[in-house]
Structure 1
Amino acid sequence: MLLTLTTTHRPASDLGYLLVKHPDRVQSFELPAGTAHVFYPEAGEERCTAALLVDIDPQRLGTGRGRGRRQATAPDSFTLGQYVNDRAYAASSLLASALSTVFRSALRGESRDRPELAGTALPLEVRVPVLRCRGGADVAVRLFAPLGWTVTATPIPLDEQYPDWGDSRYVDLLLTGTLRVGDALNHLYVLLPVLDDAKHYWVAPDEIDKLLRAGAGWLADHPERALITRRYLAHRRALAGQALARLAELRLADEPPADDSVAEETPETVEPRRTSLAVRRRAAVLAALAASGATRVLDLGCGGGALLTALVADRRYTEVVGTDVSTHALTLAARRLRLDRLPERQRDRIRLWQSALTYRDDRLRGYDAAVLMEVIEHVDPPRLPALEDAVLGHARPGTVVVTTPNAEYNVRYDGLPAGRFRHADHRFEWTRAEFAAWVERVAATYAYTATIGGVGEDDPEVGAPTQLAVFTAAEKGAAAQATTGGSTIDKSTDAREEQRR
């Protein structure tokens, strides 16, 4: 069985660094059922192709472990099926196993020699000339297209000389797209066995963890996740149920509040799908952080880690800390970040701490910036002063970015009754005047200056759906002006001393 991976990124031969396989050598790897060979049919500056050829030994395959509960329905389930079958020629779960053995570092997204390139989306072309595809070419399109691939799945006829016989169960699969090499390999690792739908080994409970690791960042939101999970786990109902439950947890952690879903799914007129408010909010927060010049950042109340993922992807941030009172949320964030698979240098930039924002925590002191994104409205109003003191008084980062819903905008959401909050866990939602009064009071109390803005489409009557404030420590602004001969230093020092008193 054969798989080729091609890139036209220049220099294209850098593909060898990402796969950790030298283009000038043929390398072989022993597998439980045969031997895998890696070689490069072409390796130039403009185009490079790596080929994985798996040579199956029927005798070794026949003496291996059981092929799973569904072997009775597999094409090789008859008496001599272990010797007379298509396993040596058609891509199947055996090819996925070879991928995990041969390209282990690439699957983890690691490259010691080209770490930046490993995190870069490259123009890729994947070809699997003979792939067993249960359900036909349409299933291949349904599985790969939502992941950003352009899919060409050409059915292979039973016999080219007799076209009336129809098509076989095999397709010639061609995928093209711009993706990270690690993501591309993980897509193949999961979806090749799904298309094959006849695993060659017994499926144990640890397969759930393998599936979730390889599917991190894409499987939870895949429209065919139920089909993928069921087939990958060999139709073992109990295992599939556990896997889908864990995927549902990941989706719940990443799901935007009700304001996002209502706003985007019930437009007044039919128009192209707009960028969700959750995405716009993260973009606005990231822009504020970039403008502040921060390099060490706290994400306070990080939840499932949506913002953390964006921060870690930006190399300007040398240290990123996520905190949450919920250990479950931190577990979800760790899964989303794929901490167990990150290169050591990237992993060292990330910290996940359990911390309650209404209590002082010395670990949070000394950071350049902190983010409270959709957090304060989950705090009971009598506890807000404790949060203000813990964050702006005790931790005192140079910049604090706060977002919260604009209660006035709620009338624009169809299906949201009057007087109801956007999320069941919200303790309050402020109008623009209430938010501005809070910002003014907090800034004066803790010697910060503040600016207020909005996120999302600005309605002329009720404003933007999300309110945003950026607090800048007075001493930070004074230091900036001091470099230009400004006179704010004495004023900010007096303000800070008064705040301390």
Structure 2
Amino acid sequence: MFLTISTTGSAARPATDLSFLLHKHPDRAQVFSTSYGDAHVFYPEASVERTTAALLLEVDPPALVRRGRKKGRGGAPDAALAQYVNDRPYAASSLLAVALRTVFASALRGECKALPERAADPLPLRVELPVVPARGGPVLVARLFEPLGWQVAAEPIPLDPQFPQWGESRYVRLVLEGELRLSDALRHIYVLLPVLDDSKHYWVSPDEVDKLLRYGEGWLPGHPEQKLITSRYLARRWSLTREAAQRLELARLADADDIEVEAIDNAVAPEEPAEAEERPAPLAVQRREAVLAELRAAGAARVLDLGCGQGQLVAALLKEPAFTEIVGLDVSVRALDIAARRLRLDRMGERRSSRLTLLQGSLAYTDNRLKGYDAAVLSEVIEHLDLPRLPALEYAVFGSARPRTVIVTTPNVEYNVRWESLPAGHARHADHRFEWNRAQFAEWAEKVAARHGYQVRYLPVGPDDPEVGPPTQLAVFTLAGESQNENQNENQKKEETVA
């Protein structure tokens, strides 16, 4: 795999400044080890007028096979021939993107202590990649790079020059030219190489969302192909794609707010730099914080996380010693296995592990193991059940287990019109069997509360839109007798304090 970055200059602004920005000396060839082979950096030319830096990734095919043995790695077929006979050693892909991040980490961040002003200024850049897999052809390449300020030349590579009748391959020779900051150029390439290939050659974990947002900051939220980029970069994992889309939308809204705040600050005190506005937390984080706040307010110590999935809420509960017993239950054995790995259950200390139990079970059936707990959480669970099965869950939780407090969160379908990345009429998740508006959720919750002796109140989670409400709706069910006792205890405490 091969990539070159070239720039031109003059005596006042020499092209050799590129070596400072890349933090690589032009007189030395350097080698860096990566998980898939050796990355070489060298300069075919380095003069005041023109300087070119080259990155050559020498892929180690046996190492690639060893790392790809686990199921699901990059979606590659688990066939012996396909593991060894492929385009990985020469076609620029996610492997080259990883090498780019490894070798040019400081340049990607836009850091250069020697020439900070050059790092902040656009440069005349030319990027060449001799072989790039492009699922979508030259048209897609242009749609991805041209909105970012690049002039794009994507020349299709024939399957075999000796047999032109065979047509063109899915590979192109790519040349990008434009006046951009070097850090922006590298971030474009880092994100869009695996998008063009439409494949990741390593396991796509949830932290890939953070990488996408980090290196897409400033350009991805407004890109016309944002949805395609997000989906392909995250290997079409819908749950991660949805999370990225939500966070990008929040970032876009936050950026709009930042413009107004910065304008006001500059008008008041132009000599002082405006402070960066804090980004809103992702909706999933806001939801967990809202649930934790209600559990604390209820004084719960023994908590059930029903439909715990991969254990995000369980991990948050474990961080607080006040929750002395935590049970995570899910119908999926695979989800529980992922939760155990995520929580590092095998390496967890004895004191902490004694507070945690992971159980496999279905909420469609009563389960004596769930009785006697202070609180139960159903976070983004009910919408995954077919409506005819919802009464069974209702009885299993509210009728049989009967915790003092039950917290339920579910999407507010009215808010879906605010997600620009969500097609009209589509649910937020492919597995959602329904999504309720606020009135429908309240109607269900009131009936459940009346039928099983609970009182219920509602809270918004996320930005509470005056027209369509919040993205997540939350209901807190409290056993009616428990609520009365709590009020009596509070009144008694007040009387004792006054006395």
The TM-score, its normalising length taken from structure 2, stands at: 0.53
Distance (Å, rounded) in 2 between the aligned partners of 1:113 and 1:229: 35
Cα distance change, pair 226–167 in 1 and its aligned pair in 2 (3 A): same
Q: What secondary structure sits across from 1:82 in the alignment?
A: helix
What does residue range 435-474 of structure 1 map to in structure 2 within 5 Å?
none
Percentage of matched positions with identical amino acids: 56
Residue in 1 that maps onto 2:61? 58
Residue in 2 that maps onto 1:202? 203
What does residue range 127-166 of structure 1 map to in structure 2 within 5 Å?
127-166=128-167
- Alpha-carbon RMSD: 2.8
Distance (Å, rounded) in 2 between the aligned partners of 1:210 and 1:23: 29
> 1:336-387: per-residue Cα shift (whole Å, max 9, x none)?
xxxxxxxxxxxxxxxxxxxxxxxxxxxxxxxxxxxxxxxxxxxxxxxxxxxx
1:8 aligns with 2:11: no
Residue 295 of structure 1: which of 228, 250, 271 is its match? 271
Distance (Å, rounded) in 2 between the aligned partners of 1:134 and 1:68: 23
> 1:23-45: per-residue Cα shift (whole Å, max 9, x none)?
01000001111000000001100
Distance (Å, rounded) in 2 between the aligned partners of 1:288 and 1:26: 50
Residue 47 of structure 2: which of 44, 49, 52 is its match? 44
Distance (Å, rounded) in 2 between the aligned partners of 1:244 and 1:288: 33
Q: What secondary structure sits across from 1:80 in the alignment?
A: helix
Distance (Å, rounded) in 2 between the aligned partners of 1:71 and 1:28: 26
Distance (Å, rounded) in 2 between the aligned partners of 1:253 and 1:246: 10
User: How far apart are residue 196 of structure 1 and its match?
Assistant: 1.1
Residue in 2 that maps onto 1:239? 240
User: How far apart are residue 286 of structure 1 and its match?
Assistant: 9.3
Residue in 1 that maps onto 2:107? 106
1:229 aligns with 2:225: no
Distance (Å, rounded) in 2 between the aligned partners of 1:68 and 1:231: 19
User: How far apart are residue 77 of structure 1 and its match?
Assistant: 5.0
Q: What secondary structure sits across from 1:201 in the alignment?
A: coil
Distance (Å, rounded) in 2 between the aligned partners of 1:168 and 1:242: 34
Residue 27 of structure 1: which of 25, 30, 49 is its match? 30
Equivalent pairs, count:
284
List 4+ stretches of structure 1 deviating above 4 A: 65-68, 281-289, 327-332
Contact persistence 1:66–1:201 (CA under 8 A): no
Residue in 2 that maps onto 1:190? 191
Q: What secondary structure sits across from 1:81 in the alignment?
A: helix
Cα distance change, pair 330–245 in 1 and its aligned pair in 2 (3 A): closer
User: How far apart are residue 135 of structure 1 and its match?
Assistant: 1.4
Contact persistence 1:13–1:45 (CA under 8 A): yes
What does residue range 68-147 of structure 1 map to in structure 2 within 5 Å?
69=72, 71=74, 74=76, 78-147=79-148
User: How far apart are residue 284 of structure 1 and its match?
Assistant: 8.0
Residue in 2 that maps onto 1:485? none
> 1:183-214: per-residue Cα shift (whole Å, max 9, x none)?
10011110001111121100100110011001
Contact persistence 1:144–1:151 (CA under 8 A): yes
Amino acid at match of 2:7: T
Distance (Å, rounded) in 2 between the aligned partners of 1:253 and 1:288: 20
Residue in 2 that maps onto 1:375? none
Amino acid at match of 2:217: A
Cα distance change, pair 80–223 in 1 and its aligned pair in 2 (3 A): same
Distance (Å, rounded) in 1 between the aligned partners of 2:103 and 2:230: 24
Can you give the 5+ residue segments of structure 1 that lack an aligned partner in the other structure?
Answer: 257-277, 297-316, 333-423, 426-501
Distance (Å, rounded) in 2 between the aligned partners of 1:93 and 1:145: 21
Contact persistence 2:73–2:202 (CA under 8 A): no
Amino acid at match of 1:135: G
Residue 275 of structure 2: which of 321, 333, 338 is its match? 321
Contact persistence 1:71–1:77 (CA under 8 A): no
Amino acid at match of 1:7: T
User: How far apart are residue 331 of structure 1 and its match?
Assistant: 9.2
Distance (Å, rounded) in 1 between the aligned partners of 2:71 and 2:226: 21
Contact persistence 1:70–1:234 (CA under 8 A): no
Cα distance change, pair 95–134 in 1 and its aligned pair in 2 (3 A): same
User: How far apart are residue 80 of structure 1 and its match?
Assistant: 2.0
Residue in 2 that maps onto 1:449? none
Cα distance change, pair 159–221 in 1 and its aligned pair in 2 (3 A): same
Residue in 1 that maps onto 2:219? 218
Cα distance change, pair 139–67 in 1 and its aligned pair in 2 (3 A): farther
Cα distance change, pair 322–131 in 1 and its aligned pair in 2 (3 A): closer
Contact persistence 2:37–2:60 (CA under 8 A): yes
Amino acid at match of 1:295: E
Distance (Å, rounded) in 2 between the aligned partners of 1:235 and 1:157: 28
User: How far apart are residue 255 of structure 1 and its match?
Assistant: 4.0
Residue in 2 that maps onto 1:414? none
Contact persistence 2:132–2:173 (CA under 8 A): yes
Residue in 2 that maps onto 1:480? none
Name which of structure 1's ranges 193-202 and 20-29 shifts more when overlaid on structure 2: 193-202
Q: What secondary structure sits across from 1:88 in the alignment?
A: coil
Contact persistence 1:24–1:40 (CA under 8 A): yes
Distance (Å, rounded) in 1 between the aligned partners of 2:105 and 2:209: 18
